């Protein structure tokens, strides 16, 4: 160990006593920081996934350059013979050089810690994602290092070592595009870490890769070429990797919502099944490579369900192209193959493939369209629907049903959805909950009384209401009173005839004479986690919302706010100028309530001062809007068990509001700080070296 440390110190002196190490490290971190902070305020998310991708790429350039001379330079300059003649074992030399590289890589990555600190200052980054991201990029760096070390030991030409190492890393990265060989790709395996999942199989793969190449370096430099103990150790490591493929449940989920693990409610439902659930997955083997992460996730979820109750949860994978029964099932259920383009023999061909899930429970069966965002919820909610004899009923009113297709589609998965006509002479349809998704026309007294009576029967009423309408041409109009506003005011919730502007705003696209531009649009308030009433069960799992042209609410003491703007929000009754260039600061700023709920006196009433946020064009890019609306229905319809599952997702906190001056300072500091730190370290090391040399000469 002492000799290993001596070699480590020698190599570290080469790194830190020459300007090359500082220049390369400084350039790499500066480039990574510049690319990250270039668009961070536009992306508006407190997470570092883009940073890890950039860092992995830069390491694939840095490490081959760093390792190319570890052995090749020694052999080229004939210092290897001198080193080899010393009373040092080959393993001490190899491990010493490797450990020096480890220290240098860790030192380089430590310079990225100010980026993480900046995110903590600007928002609330998920600690699990940060830990996983750092672990993933460190393992990637060490894997690159061990490979470069081995290649350098095979040649006496540093440039040759650099080119071969770089070529192997490029080829390894390309393996992610070939399904049979994806398991060998370092990049494919590291992605899980940055998502907060520590898969023991992936972790051990990296450890095996590192050890095998370090051991191979030792063997390649030993005078006695055959070293059975080291070869046997390498074989054992490979066998352990193969064994771990049979234990996919060995993993550590670092995410806040445990998105990579089954929820307790899901396990409880599966454990208490009265009859066998058969899951038939119709899946072709030649699906596009882009779908593989989703199919892997589906297989992992189904395998975990199966382990929860092996006796009553059965899973079968069928290929309709080879199984006639599976093909007949697909035809009878109306399942059609998906089409995609694939290059074969230098030609672009149209391929057909199947990807669908059929759930069979007793005599009932259901085909589910895979929602790759939350497959656990999709599967467990479908099972619940098959188990229950009768699903709750929801009556939905909208002046334009074409705008609510996604909302209706998702609502139909758990409920029987019927249309409601607020202007009909007939009574409101029998249902557990009534949803009014926008209203611009006046209701007569008779129809208003129907809604009043509905509330008295202790049924749920959910109102998404605009007071200011904005069309596609950005022309606004104040709606006349519909009568519903008075009814809501009688129940303690008043919707103001105004619009809210907030510095915490979503990004909108606008067409200009110079083309399309993306800007933060203050009339689209972005609700942050700290402005959501997370104590209410209905807000379970909701960490952000995106509204559009919303009106503020004034509530009585008995009403509970669901969510609010920041304390920098303003209200305006001037609707003539909704320009994206509108600036805040013209009116007093204070927090505004945009959503409220009433559950006392046996009444169930929820109101949001916006009807646009559940339209298709908003739900597509803001799934939390959908989950919030569905949570309200669950809460009022008496089935809130699935709320925590539905909203499971990687929680990415938005950034806090910052001024242009603060943004500039943050960018400058993060670009300059690594250089300043490196300069200070270089100054201290050089100063100590001069002092040491002076003392040595005096002696």
Radius of gyration of the chain (CA): 31
- Percent of the chain at pLDDT > 70 equals 90
How many CB atoms sit inside 10 A of residue 634's CB?
Answer: 23
Mean pLDDT (whole number) for 639-643: 68
661 is a domain residue: no
Q: Quick one: which H or E segment has residue 6? A: helix 2-16
658 is a domain residue: no
Question: Per-residue confidence at 369, pLDDT binned at 50, 70, 90?
Answer: low
Mean pLDDT (whole number) for 451-460: 87
pLDDT value at residue 245: 66
C-alpha span between 525 and 657 (Å, rounded): 12
Residues in CB range of 62: below 8 A, 6 or more apart: 24, 25, 28, 108
| E strand map for 451-504 | 460-464, 468-470, 476-478, 493-495, 499-501
Question: Per-residue confidence at 412, pLDDT binned at 50, 70, 90?
Answer: confident
C-alpha span between 97 and 476 (Å, rounded): 69
Mean pLDDT (whole number) for 460-486: 87
Q: Are residues 542 and 503 in the same domain?
A: yes
Assign residue 585 the CATH number of its domain.
Answer: 3.40.50.880
Q: Are residues 453 and 576 in the same domain?
A: yes
pLDDT value at residue 698: 61
Q: What is the pLDDT of residues 476-511, one digit of tens each?
A: 888 889 999 999 999 999 999 999 999 888 888 877
The least confident of 222-231, 260-269, 297-306, 433-442 is 222-231
What DSSP line would sit under 254-308, residue for residue?
Answer: -STT-TTS--HHHHHHHHT-SSPEEEEEEE-TT--GGGHHHHHHHHHHHHHHHHH
Assess contact for 482 and 448: CB atoms under 8 A: no
Q: Are residues 89 and 127 in the same domain?
A: yes
Is the predicted pLDDT of residue 373 greater than 80, yes or no?
no
Q: Are residues 337 and 466 in the same domain?
A: no
Q: Are residues 11 and 33 in the same domain?
A: yes
Is the predicted pLDDT of residue 165 greater than 80, yes or no?
yes
660 is a domain residue: no
Pairing of strands 338-344, 347-353: antiparallel
How many CB atoms sit inside 10 A of residue 458's CB?
Answer: 11
* Measured CA angle at 529 (ends 523, 532), to 5 deg: 80
Question: Per-residue confidence at 384, pLDDT binned at 50, 70, 90?
Answer: confident
Mean pLDDT (whole number) for 251-274: 85
Query: Integer distance in angstroms from the first to the last C-alpha of the chain?
Result: 29
* Measured CA angle at 461 (ends 460, 464), to 5 deg: 140
Q: Are residues 203 and 78 in the same domain?
A: yes
Highest mean predicted confidence (pLDDT) among 112-126, 236-250, 255-269? 112-126
pLDDT value at residue 226: 58
pLDDT value at residue 561: 94
Residues in CB range of 642: below 8 A, 6 or more apart: 265, 377, 380, 381, 384, 414, 634
User: How many residues are recorded in the chain?
Assistant: 699
Is the predicted pLDDT of residue 650 greater than 70, yes or no?
no
pLDDT value at residue 341: 63
pLDDT value at residue 118: 92
Q: Are residues 194 and 118 in the same domain?
A: yes
Q: Are residues 517 and 487 in the same domain?
A: yes
Q: Which of 322, 337, 368 is the last residue of a domain?
A: 368
Tell me the sheet residues that pair with 366.
Answer: 359
Mean pLDDT (whole number) for 62-84: 79
Q: Provide the domain count of the chain.
A: 3
The least confident of 154-168, 235-249, 622-636 is 235-249
C-alpha span between 260 and 669 (Å, rounded): 36
pLDDT value at residue 170: 87
Residues in CB range of 279: below 8 A, 6 or more apart: 302, 305, 313, 314, 315, 316, 357, 358, 359, 360, 379
CA distances from 264 to 157, 442, 531, 538 (A): 58, 47, 28, 18
Q: Are residues 618 and 642 in the same domain?
A: yes
Is the predicted pLDDT of residue 651 greater than 90, yes or no?
no
pLDDT value at residue 138: 94
Q: Are residues 400 and 354 in the same domain?
A: no
Region of residue 258 (left: phi > 0; alpha: psi -120 to 50; beta: else): left
Question: Per-residue confidence at 554, pLDDT binned at 50, 70, 90?
Answer: very high
Residues in CB range of 78: below 8 A, 6 or more apart: none
The least confident of 79-88, 408-417, 425-434, 556-565 is 79-88
Mean pLDDT (whole number) for 556-570: 91
Q: Are residues 498 and 619 in the same domain?
A: yes
Mean pLDDT (whole number) for 202-225: 83
Question: Per-residue confidence at 558, pLDDT binned at 50, 70, 90?
Answer: confident
pLDDT value at residue 637: 80
Residues in CB range of 146: below 8 A, 6 or more apart: 98, 209, 210, 211, 212, 213, 214, 217
Is the predicted pLDDT of residue 85 greater than 80, yes or no?
no
336 is a domain residue: yes
Count CA atoms within 13 Å of residue 585 on its CB side. 4
Mean pLDDT (whole number) for 522-538: 88
483 is a domain residue: yes
Question: Per-residue confidence at 98, pLDDT binned at 50, 70, 90?
Answer: very high
pLDDT value at residue 377: 81
Average pLDDT, the chain: 84
Residues 557-572: b if buried by 16+ CB within 10 A, e if exposed? eebbbbbbbbebbbbb
Question: Per-residue confidence at 638, pLDDT binned at 50, 70, 90?
Answer: low
Is the predicted pLDDT of residue 121 greater than 80, yes or no?
yes
Assign residue 268 the CATH number of its domain.
Answer: 3.40.30.10
pTM: 0.74
651 is a domain residue: no
Question: Per-residue confidence at 343, pLDDT binned at 50, 70, 90?
Answer: low
Q: Are residues 678 and 620 in the same domain?
A: no
Assess contact for 22 and 107: CB atoms under 8 A: no
Structural domain boundaries enclosing 195:
2-255+666-698
Better-scored residue on pLDDT, 657 or 56: 56
CA neighbor of 618 nearest in space, from 486, 526, 520, 501: 526
Q: What is the pLDDT of residues 101-115, one digit of tens each?
A: 999 999 999 999 999
657 is a domain residue: no
233 is a domain residue: yes
pLDDT value at residue 513: 67
């Amino acid at each position: 160990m002492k000799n290993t440390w001596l070699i480590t110190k020698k190599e570290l002196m080469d790194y830190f006593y020459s300007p090359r190490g500082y220049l390369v490290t400084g350039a790499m971190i500066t480039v990574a920081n510049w690319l990250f902070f270039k668009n961070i305020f536009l992306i508006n998310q407190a997470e570092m996934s883009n940073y890890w991708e950039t860092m992995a790429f830069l390491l694939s350039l840095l490490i081959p350059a760093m390792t190319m001379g570890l052995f090749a330079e020694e052999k080229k300059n004939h210092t290897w013979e001198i080193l080899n003649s010393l009373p040092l074992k080959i393993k001490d030399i190899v491990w010493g050089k490797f450990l020096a590289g480890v220290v240098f890589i860790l030192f380089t990555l430590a310079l990225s810690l100010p980026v993480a600190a900046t995110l903590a200052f600007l928002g609330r980054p998920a600690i699990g994602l940060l830990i996983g991201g750092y672990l993933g990029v460190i393992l990637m760096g060490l894997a690159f290092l061990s490979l470069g070390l081995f290649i350098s030991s095979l040649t006496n030409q540093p440039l040759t070592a650099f080119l071969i190492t770089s070529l192997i890393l490029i080829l390894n990265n390309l393996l992610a595009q070939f399904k049979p060989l994806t398991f060998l790709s370092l990049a494919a395996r590291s992605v899980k870490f940055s998502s907060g999942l520590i898969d023991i199989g992936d972790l051990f793969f990296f450890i095996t890769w590192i050890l095998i190449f370090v051991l191979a370096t030792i063997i390649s430099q030993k005078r006695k070429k055959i070293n059975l103990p080291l070869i046997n150790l390498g074989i054992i490591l490979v066998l352990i990797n193969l064994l771990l493929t049979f234990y996919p449940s060995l993993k550590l989920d670092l995410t806040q919502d445990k998105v990579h693990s089954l929820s307790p409610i899901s396990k409880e439902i599966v454990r208490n099944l009265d009859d066998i659930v058969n899951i038939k997955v119709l899946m072709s083997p030649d699906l596009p490579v882009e779908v593989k992460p989703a199919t892997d996730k589906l297989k992992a979820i189904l395998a975990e369900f199966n382990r929860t109750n092996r006796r009553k949860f059965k899973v079968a994978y069928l290929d309709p192209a080879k199984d006639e029964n599976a093909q007949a099932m697909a035809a009878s259920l109306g399942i059609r193959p998906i089409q995609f383009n694939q290059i074969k023999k230098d030609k672009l061909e149209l391929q057909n493939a199947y990807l669908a899930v059929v759930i069979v429970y007793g005599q009932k069966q259901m085909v589910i369209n895979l929602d790759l965002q939350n497959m656990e919820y999709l599967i467990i909610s479908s099972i619940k629907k098959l188990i229950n004899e009768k699903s709750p009923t929801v009556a939905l009113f909208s002046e334009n049903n074409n705008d609510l297709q996604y909302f209706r589609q998702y609502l139909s998965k758990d409920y029987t959805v019927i249309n409601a006509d607020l202007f009909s002479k007939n009574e409101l349809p029998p249902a557990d909950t009534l949803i009014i998704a926008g209203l611009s026309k006046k209701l007569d007294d008779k129809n208003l009384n129907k809604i009043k009576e509905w509330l008295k029967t202790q049924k749920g009423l959910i109102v998404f209401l605009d007071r200011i309408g904005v069309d596609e041409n950005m022309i606004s109009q104040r709606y006349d009173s519909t009568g519903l506003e008075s009814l809501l005011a009688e129940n303690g919730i008043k919707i103001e005839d105004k619009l809210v502007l907030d510095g915490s705003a979503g990004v909108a696209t606008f067409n200009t004479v110079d083309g399309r531009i993306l800007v933060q649009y203050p009339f689209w308030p972005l609700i942050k986690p700290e402005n959501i009433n997370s104590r209410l069960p209905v807000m379970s799992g909701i960490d952000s919302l995106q509204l559009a042209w919303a009106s503020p609410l004034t509530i009585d003491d008995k009403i509970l706010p669901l969510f609010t703007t920041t304390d920098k929000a303003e209200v305006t009754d001037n609707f003539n100028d909704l320009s994206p260039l509108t600036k805040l600061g013209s009116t007093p700023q204070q927090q505004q309530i945009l959503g409220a709920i009433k559950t006392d006196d046996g009444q169930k009433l929820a109101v949001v001062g916006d009807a646009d946020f559940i339209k298709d064009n908003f739900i597509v890019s803001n799934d939390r809007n959908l989950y919030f609306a569905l949570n309200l229905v669950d809460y009022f319809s008496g089935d809130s068990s699935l709320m925590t599952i539905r909203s499971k997702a990687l929680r990415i906190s938005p950034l806090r509001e910052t001024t242009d001056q603060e943004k500039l300072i943050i960018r400058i500091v993060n670009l300059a700080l690594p250089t300043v730190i490196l300069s200070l370290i270089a100054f201290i090391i050089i100063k100590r070296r001069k002092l040491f040399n002076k003392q040595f000469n005096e002696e």
